[in-house]
Every structure is written in C-alpha cells, then in structure tokens.
Chains A and B, each alone.
Chain A
Amino acid sequence: MTISDVLAAHTDSLMRIPGVTGVGEGRMAGGPSVHVLVTRITPELRRRLPTTLGGYPVNVVETGVIEAQADSN
C-alpha cells in the first residue's frame, strides 16, 4: 500500500480518537510516515495510537489546540 492508501484507510478512525487534531503524510528515517498531530501526548494516547500503520512508522507530534490565527477582541 502507498502512504496515500494508508492515509485514506486510517485517517477517519485516527481523527475519532480524542486529542488527535490532525493526520497527514510526513517523513521519518528517509521514508514516508504517518504524521499524527495531538493536543498533548498522554499515556492514554500513547496506548491508543499505533506505532506503525500499513508498514509505515507513526510519528506523533504534540501541537496544542490548532486555532485559526487572527488576533481579535
């Protein structure tokens, strides 16, 4: 499976996990990876997120909440 196939197959279920804010194609160790954005890395998320998907490594990155970036009052 290509990385695109893996993302198409698993993005929806990954996005349903509480704390996951994004899923995309990244790069690790010279090859494609599954890039998972989470608000905060917790033991619960570590347990629920796979370390590989379809043979591609899963890279979990802590980002905080992703917000639209205008300043407003």
Chain B
Amino acid sequence: MHRIILPLARCAGRTVVLAVIAFAAACSPDSTTPSDSADLARGGTPGPDLRAAMAAQARHEASIMAIAGVEGVGVGTTTDGRKGALVILTEHAAVGGIRREFDGVPVRLIPTGKIIADPQPKGGNGGGGGGGGSGDGAVDPTGTFARPVPIGVSIGNVGSCSAGTLGARVVKGGQPYILSNNHVLAEENEAQAGSEIIQPGRFDTAPQCSTPAGSGIATLSQFVPISFSGNNTVDAAIAATTAGNVGTATFSGGYGEPSSTTATAAVNMAVQKCGRTTGCTRGTVAAINATINVQYTRGVARFVNQVVITGRRGAFSRSGDSGSLIVTDNASANPVALLFAGGQTTTIGNPINAVLSALNVTIDGK
C-alpha cells in the first residue's frame, strides 16, 4: 500500500488539482496553490474546498488504508471538479467497506489495480533489449528500448512533453509506419508533417521532458483531423519508420505479433492490449456502436460508432495507454480497436477497420 500516489499525471484540464498535489515535482513549478490552479483551470470560479478534504485525509487516512484492497488515499476533486474530495484508490471496483463521505467530504473511488511502487521516470537503463529494467524481470514500457523497438511502448511527438503508446506497425504502399493516435503523434492536429516521433515520449525521458540524442524512430506522415464541432470516428495518425527502428511484436510478456486479419467488436468479446502505462491487460467489450463525448486538451470532441471496454481486473487502461492496439484475447490476436480515451473504469477504442481504412493501411502482423 502506498500513500497518495495518484495515477493522473496530466498537468492540464480537469485533473490539475490531483496533478499539482501528487506530481508537484514533475510538473512545471509555479507559485499558485492547488486552489488557485483549480480556479484558473475552471475559468476563475470559486475553487473546490481542498482544505476540508485535507483535514479529512489527516483524520481518517490510517483507518482507510487499513481496509483490505485500498491502495492509496489522496485529496482531489469530485468528478465534476466542483468539490474537494477524498480520493481513495482501490485494487478493484468491488472493494467494499468504504464510507461515501468523511466529515462531510465526499469520497471519490478510483479502482486502479495494484499500484507500482515507484511512479518516477526511470533513469537511463542503457537501452538494453529488455527495455526499462525494473529489477523484477517485468518489462517497463516507459523505458528506452533497443531498436527495433517492440509495439506497446512509450512514444511521443518531439514537440511536446507527453507520452502515449506505439500501437502497431502498419504497411502502406510497401512501406512501414507506426500507428497511434492523432493526439499522441500529431498533438491534436497541431504537429507538422515530418516532425520527429521519439521513443520513449518526452514525459518518460530522464531528465523528464528532455530529448536524448538518437531517440527518434519515425517521422509524422499523416493524421485524421479531430473535429471539435462535428462527429468523429477515429483519433488516428501514422508516422513513417523502418523495419530497423520498429518491430511488429509486443515486448516479452505480451501477446506477441498481432494478426493482420481484423475482427469486428461484439459485446462480451474478450480483448487484450499492451500499453505504456498499464502494460498488458485483459478486458471485455461492454458496448459497441457507442456515441461518446471525449475531453481533450483543446475541448470536447464527439465520437460515434465506438467500442467500450471494461477491465477484467482493475482498469483496462489509464493515461499514457492512448494508441494501444486492442486485439482479441486468444492466440490469433486479431486487431479489434485503437485505444484512445477512458474514464475511471472504462476504456474507449475506435473500431480498427475504420482506422485502417481512414489511413489506407494494413496491420503488419502474422
């Protein structure tokens, strides 16, 4: 169990309060207090009462942490951002015995699964073939990987301090490309064609936000623009690469090479993915043909015909898993969707056939 390790590392928008408190060292330091930042983020209206939440945390943390399945306790806001809340991280959604409020402060439960002990960016690990060496044999997808890098690992556009996931290698006109999201490779429509894609993304470099020499693995080729006024179907982009820079299979412990034959999502279908933040996880399709409003840095965008997934054990994805290829949970690993968004316990993916046809590519797989 760990104290206040909140899994939200985004430093803009709705999660700013959590981020300022939990990642004060990682986010650009400024002189504003958490309340000030929240006020700024929400356009100057009165901020959530974080003092009461902090007081409640101080009084009740020990007894909350004693509950089996509780992974962390912190101070944040309610999901609408209006009130201070006691944020309780649980191993899975079914952890019981937790009150809904303490001293009048509402509780926000976030099932996170097991939290890793060290949330800090990794130091240089020499680019060894296994990627980030965490010492226990498990591959850390946020690490620096030897070329050709596997799929499922941290990448980003060199123009921003961010990290998403390398979804798959795809083919167009006989040439290899990286497939991921527009908001990972192309900065929500802002990046220039030809800009460099690096591994890991700058959110995961050491020191954080630096750009180590030789980290480029691809250049942005094409993206499907995200519309913030009309309907979208995909959040997708490709970057030109080489077989020497990017491989076709996941890191060890993952599903390996995806099939080049796609599958159409169906409710209750078992799926899996390997991604930068939560690694390789399993889930179930909860809904299809879904219309979803998604919060981006630049605003809310509506997506139609989407695939909704819930995790089998804990969250299927978290921030940083964007771009992961979602495949069937069997030996053939047929691509089903491209992961791009999620909530506390829910993941949203674009149907993969729409992604591939929008970019006129095929999956480079078995």
Interface residues of A (CB under 8 A from B): 4, 7, 11, 15, 21-27, 32, 35, 37, 39-40, 61-73
Contacts and interface: CB of A to CB of B under 8 A. Distances in A.
B296 A68 contact: yes
A22 B344 contact: no
Contact of A26 (B80, B287, B297, B345): B287
Interface string B257-287: 0000000000110000000110000000011
A71 B164 contact: yes
B287 A35 contact: yes
A15 to B, nearest CB: 6
A40 B78 contact: yes
Contacts of A7: 289, 291
A37 B343 contact: yes
Contacts of B80: 39-40
A45 to B, nearest CB: 12
Interface stretch (B30-38, B244-252, B334-342): B334-342
Contacts of A23: 290-291
A34 to B, nearest CB: 9
Interface residues of B, number: 66
A68 B276 CA distance: 14
A68 B343 contact: no
Q: Report the 4 A-B pairs with minimum CB-CB distance, sorted nearest first.
A: A24-B290, A63-B343, A24-B287, A72-B162
Contacts of B183: 68, 70
A24 B78 CA distance: 25
Contacts of A73: 9, 11, 26-28, 160-162, 202-203, 208-209
Contacts of A62: 344-345
Nearest to B81: A65
B318 interface: yes
B79 A67 contact: no
21 contacts: A21-B293, A22-B287, A22-B348, A24-B287, A25-B288, A26-B267, A26-B286, A26-B287, A37-B343, A63-B346, A64-B79, A64-B346, A65-B295, A67-B342, A68-B183, A68-B295, A70-B156, A71-B201, A72-B11, A73-B27, A73-B209
Contact of A22 (B162, B203, B293, B297): B293
Contacts of A32: 267
B93 to A, nearest CB: 10
A24 B343 contact: no
Interface of B: 9-15, 26-28, 78-80, 110, 156, 160-164, 181, 183-184, 188, 201-203, 208-209, 235, 267-268, 276-277, 286-297, 302, 306, 308, 317-323, 339-348
Contacts of B188: 68
Contacts of B294: 66-68
A65 B181 CA distance: 19
Contacts of B276: 71
Given A37-B346, A40-B79, A64-B344, A24 B289 contact: yes
B142 to A, nearest CB: 9
B113 to A, nearest CB: 15
B277 A63 contact: no
A7 B305 CA distance: 11
Contacts of A22: 287, 290-293, 306, 308, 348
A71 B164 CA distance: 7
Given A21-B293, A27-B267, A40-B78, A69 B287 contact: no
Given A40-B78, A67-B319, A72-B12, A25 B292 contact: no
B200 to A, nearest CB: 11
